[in-house]
Structure 1
Amino acid sequence: MWTECSRRVVTVSSHFCRSVAPPLRMRKLEVGVPLRFMRAFSNLPVTEENGTLHTKLARIGCDNYESTLMEMGVKRTEDLSILCELDLIAKDIPLVQARKIVGIASSSDQEQEHVLPLSTAQKAMVHLNDFGIYRADRSYKSILISSILGGSFISFGASMYILLGGGTPMLQESLPGLHAVASALIFPIGLSSIVLTQTDMLTSSMMYATLPFTSGDKRKSTTEKAENLAKLWGTNFVGNFIGCLGFACLASTLFINDPFSSFAQAIAIKKTSYLATGTTMTAFGKAVGANWLVCLAIFQAATATTSPGKMAALWLPITTFVALGLEHSVANMFLIPLGMFCGADISVNEFLVGNLLPVGLGNAFGGSVFVSLLHWQYLMKK
């Protein structure tokens, strides 16, 4: 009796929940393997997913007849073995295409011998392409809020860098190389937070927004890709700048005294000296290397499936770019204003034109060419 009563209570509760709470509809983020994007990507290496019907139709240029085959009850490659050319011709499929489609079934076993699985790096690259398209489909408000948080997270890591680097002046004087590496080891805290929370950073979007171009993704037209790139880069810049500038204002109250204040000022002065010394191309070159390493860190993190794994994968590339003194535009949005707030004599022109402009261009080149373009070419092309 008690069991029957419990069953009735559960049934009534279930009906009540369905009537009161509408079903939760979540946006599907398409990630995974090139199979579902075979119309978008061409010249992909043979993979285990390429043995499906959709892929084989796309390979012979007959994927536009997929819906017709579905109407005939064809769901798998094996189903084609029971059809003949006349069956397909009766459905208004030309003779040449009909022969190609029927030939898929006979060649299935032979092709299976050449099937190779996707590598971890290939899966990560496809995921980054998918994620880049998804990020551009969000509203401006969502991107802006995410970018403000992203700038704040980078500022957290940079603040720890100032704390450790500025707080060890004797080590800096006696062992500058060790001091640079030791201080840089704490900086990746910021990017770890960005990767794990999926917030926005301008320099990572320089890879995300260009991947649909380099991959040849046909889900978006060239015009749409360009609009998405401008949307992401523009909104990320504004949001990151707000987050970093606001955090620099707060952090200046923590580092107002020496040795932290003088350390912050020295960093800001060094980063804005390119315009006066005529070494703007040096800033550009350092920026190329910085975002090459940053986007490489994000790529490596995408190959991991756990939070500790992602953090470990990105830690060394970020430590490397900071220890080498390379230029990162988003980090500079915090470090230079912090130095100015601490008393460094730096003009707005030296900040924006002398640093952010060449560094931003260099970051864009490093992320889009050395990671987005080259990694896609060698991983996803024959």
Structure 2
Amino acid sequence: MDYVNPSDVVESMVEAGAKKAKLPVHQLLVRGFLGAALLGFATTLAFTFELQTKIGMLGAIIFPVGFVMIILLGLELVTGSFALIPLAVMEKKATVSEMLRNFFWVIIGHIIGGIIYGLMIYVSITNFGQTFENPLTQKIIAVADVKTNGYATMGADGLLIVFIKAMLCNWMVTLGAVLAMVSKSTAGKIIAMWLPITTFFGQGFEHAVVNMFVIPTGILLGADVTIIDWWLWNQIPVTIGNLVSGFLFTGLALYFIHKISAKKKEQPQEVHERLKKVSF
């Protein structure tokens, strides 16, 4: 059958996390670079759909193309790894230092990929800085402003809001990474992944890797946003929020349901088998 049992999916999550933790630095950098660039492509495509149709949800429906390409090609997306690698650590198939090494170098790759794709989009939609009339230009500037100054105006409340939006986002994104494992067919994987990714993007939640493209690109295009604004009011709280929800609501929750609970059910049976062996 094409469908994979959830308990087997959890085993696959642990194995995937272990493999990611062992990747060498150059692999993490290149895979992270490509992951961020592909999400950049997906973001500008989604914005273009929205601008052409005036229907925001159409952009959300098309955005998962980037996520699908990343997963099918075996690239790195740190937000997905937030749910997977900690499980490998819990199962002693990876170490904490290996997990942190993965997170660090993949994020570096993401930043490079997001900025380079941003530079290329800048050249493309402004004719190398000669015109800023393209609607996509103004859209990116507006999004970058909302994602930073929009929260800054609310002070501490803004930090809490962006953190919660990041948690809501990666709850869905990590489910997308996991649902790719519930099917053995390419078509099944694509359909399963599409559902949660559309859900997060359509509601305007905060994704750390998308923001590594859209905010620096907005700054490049002229948004009234500083590097400090980017990191203080968005990138740092969003990354932490993505990590917390990815681990708690997807990784740990599914591990508890299908791994720990299964072990508890097996124990009485194991005792029964031992008693049978020693009975007269």
Question: What's the TM-score, normalizing by structure 1?
Answer: 0.63
Q: List runs of 5+ in structure 1 lacking aligned partners.
A: 1-117, 172-178
Contact 2:33 2:109 in 1 (8 A): yes
Contact 1:202 1:237 in 2 (8 A): yes
Contact 2:46 2:58 in 1 (8 A): no
- Measured against aligned partners, the alpha-carbon deviations of 1:39-96 in whole angstroms (never above 9, x if no partner) come to xxxxxxxxxxxxxxxxxxxxxxxxxxxxxxxxxxxxxxxxxxxxxxxxxxxxxxxxxx
- 1:247 corresponds in structure 2 to 117
Contact 2:4 2:183 in 1 (8 A): no
Corresponding letter in the other structure for 2:138: S
Corresponding letter in the other structure for 2:152: L
Contact 1:301 1:313 in 2 (8 A): yes
- 2:9 corresponds in structure 1 to 124
Task: Tell me, in whole angstroms, the C-alpha distance in 2 between the residues paired with 1:201 and 1:280.
Answer: 24
- 2:134 corresponds in structure 1 to 258
Q: Larger relative contact order (C-alpha < 8 A, sep ≥ 6)?
A: 2
Percent of matched pairs sharing the same residue = 27
Off by >3 Å, runs of 4+ in structure 1: none
Task: Tell me, in whole angstroms, the C-alpha distance in 2 between the residues paired with 1:142 and 1:259.
Answer: 36
The change in CA–CA distance for 1:119 and 1:243 in structure 2 (over 3 A counts) is closer
Task: Tell me, in whole angstroms, the C-alpha distance in 2 between the residues paired with 1:368 and 1:144.
Answer: 22
- 1:275 corresponds in structure 2 to 152
Say yes or no: does 1:207 pair with 2:83: yes
Corresponding letter in the other structure for 1:123: D
The change in CA–CA distance for 1:252 and 1:380 in structure 2 (over 3 A counts) is same
Corresponding letter in the other structure for 1:241: I
Task: Tell me, in whole angstroms, the C-alpha distance in 2 between the residues paired with 1:134 and 1:261.
Answer: 39
Out of 28, 41, 47, which is 1:162 matched to? 47
Task: Tell me, in whole angstroms, the C-alpha distance in 2 between the residues paired with 1:363 and 1:378.
Answer: 21
Say yes or no: does 1:369 pair with 2:255: no
- 2:204 corresponds in structure 1 to 325
Corresponding letter in the other structure for 2:154: T
- Measured against aligned partners, the alpha-carbon deviations of 1:191-247 in whole angstroms (never above 9, x if no partner) come to 10111001001111111221124xx41344xxxx21011111101110011001100
Provide the aligned C-alpha RMSD in A. Answer: 1.5
- Measured against aligned partners, the alpha-carbon deviations of 1:6-56 in whole angstroms (never above 9, x if no partner) come to xxxxxxxxxxxxxxxxxxxxxxxxxxxxxxxxxxxxxxxxxxxxxxxxxxx
The change in CA–CA distance for 1:339 and 1:219 in structure 2 (over 3 A counts) is closer
Q: How many residues align?
A: 250
Question: What displacement does 1:349 show?
Answer: 0.7
